């Protein structure tokens, strides 16, 4: 394996790992947009999770409709028509309210797109191998439309259970989310909706967003088939359960045994190629008889004696 290939591989893995870290951090956040007293909260997938009116003194004069009966021709002649019109207000201007909600939603989506592109640019700036390559395709190949989390993935991610989220993101011991059930207090708090913004990914924690705890298969899907056995080794799960190890997700002895098996397989393939080359050379010799080089020294000596004798006779 050449050094150039190794450096490119390390740079690609590092870049994808940083993008996966940013992906996990974004799905745990919510983005808020405000317009004319209307607050819209969006998830990392672009879905609206909450709409809230901030201050009544701000939005009521803008969205309240005045009474149509007080705006007739006889209302202007009465002395207290202004007081009646100001007091008698009812209804909401839905057109103006929908425009404000749309503007606040676009503001939240803009914050989300800016966060994804900023994470992508930061990953490239902190990657010396990719900066040394100076490839413009790495900078302009992806944008907010292609970077994760993508809006099309929100259908299967936002409505997934905590156990399914743990399985998809490679969280250790996903079975613990099956036994955990929501208490009535948590259900009431979710129904009330007061206080903090609603969470999007409940199975991810700060520890799961650490690059040291992210499996390589999640960062580079092409390596998933080769690493699935390493991630699902029972010895790893036992060490993670007891918390007696060094906190690593990979068992060093198991990895070493797998590497030796792979090296043995590569050696067998090498000798098979050597045998194939030998057989092809034998097949290229006329009549299929390989020359015997056992009497090479005697043949050369005879030719030398013949040349000397010929020289003296001449």
Q: Percentage helix, strand, coil, to 5, in the chain?
A: 60, 5, 30
Q: Which residues contact 166 (CB under 8 A, 6 or more apart)?
A: 174, 177, 203
Is 149 contained in some domain?
yes
Pair 106, 33: CB distance under 8 Å: yes
Is 300 contained in some domain?
no
Whole-number Å distance between alpha carbons of 52 and 58 = 13
Report the CATH number at residue 29.
3.30.1310.10
Is 111 contained in some domain?
yes
Pair 59, 53: CB distance under 8 Å: yes
Whole-number Å distance between alpha carbons of 59 and 64 = 8
Q: What is the pLDDT along the chain (314 residues), one digit of tens a residue?
A: 455 556 666 777 777 788 888 888 888 888 899 888 888 999 888 888 888 888 877 777 777 776 554 444 444 444 444 444 444 456 777 888 888 888 889 999 999 889 888 888 888 887 777 776 666 666 767 777 788 888 888 777 777 778 877 777 777 777 777 765 544 444 444 444 444 545 566 777 777 777 777 776 666 555 555 544 444 445 545 555 554 444 455 566 776 787 788 888 888 888 888 888 888 877 777 766 666 666 666 655 556 566 666 555 55
Total of domains in the chain: 1
Is 150 contained in some domain?
yes
Is 36 contained in some domain?
yes
Is 297 contained in some domain?
no
Q: Which residues contact 51 (CB under 8 A, 6 or more apart)?
A: 38, 39, 40, 41, 101
Is 76 contained in some domain?
no
Is 50 contained in some domain?
yes
Q: Which residues contact 25 (CB under 8 A, 6 or more apart)?
A: 119, 209
Predicted confidence at residue 26, as pLDDT, reads: 87
Whole-number Å distance between alpha carbons of 111 and 119 = 12
Predicted confidence at residue 70, as pLDDT, reads: 43
Predicted confidence at residue 180, as pLDDT, reads: 54
Whole-number Å distance between alpha carbons of 246 and 239 = 9
Closest by CA position to 254, among listed 231, 272, 273: 231
Which residue range forms the structural domain that includes residue 14? 1-61+91-159
Whole-number Å distance between alpha carbons of 89 and 251 = 71
């Amino acid at each position: 394996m050449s050094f150039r290939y190794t450096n490119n591989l390390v740079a690609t893995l590092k870049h994808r790992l940083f993008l996966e870290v940013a992906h996990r951090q974004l799905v745990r956040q919510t983005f808020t947009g405000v317009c004319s007293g209307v607050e819209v909260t969006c998830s990392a997938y672009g879905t609206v999770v909450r709409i809230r009116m901030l201050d009544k003194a701000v939005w009521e004069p803008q969205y309240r409709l005045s009474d149509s009966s007080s705006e007739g021709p006889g209302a202007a002649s009465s002395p207290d028509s202004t007081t009646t019109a100001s007091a008698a207000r009812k209804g909401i201007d839905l057109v103006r309210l929908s425009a404000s909600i749309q503007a606040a939603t676009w503001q939240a989506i803009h914050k989300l797109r800016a966060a994804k592109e900023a994470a992508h640019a930061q990953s490239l700036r902190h990657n010396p191998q990719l900066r040394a390559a100076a490839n413009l395709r790495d900078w302009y190949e992806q944008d907010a439309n292609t970077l994760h989390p993508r809006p099309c993935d929100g259908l299967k991610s936002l409505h997934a259970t905590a156990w399914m989220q743990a399985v998809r993101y490679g969280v250790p011991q996903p079975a613990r989310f099956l036994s955990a059930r929501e208490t009535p207090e948590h259900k009431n708090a979710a129904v009330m909706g007061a206080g903090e913004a609603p969470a999007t990914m409940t199975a991810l924690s700060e520890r799961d967003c650490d690059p040291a705890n992210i499996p390589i298969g999640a960062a580079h899907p092409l390596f998933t088939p080769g690493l699935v056995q390493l991630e699902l080794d029972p010895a790893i799960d036992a060490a993670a359960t007891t918390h007696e190890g060094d906190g690593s997700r990979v068992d060093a002895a198991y990895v070493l045994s797998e590497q030796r098996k792979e090296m043995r397989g590569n050696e067998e393939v090498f000798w098979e190629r050597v045998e194939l080359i030998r057989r092809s050379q034998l097949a290229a010799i006329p009549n299929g008889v390989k020359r015997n080089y056992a009497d090479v020294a005697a043949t050369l000596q005879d030719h030398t004696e013949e040349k000397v004798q010929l020289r003296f006779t001449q």
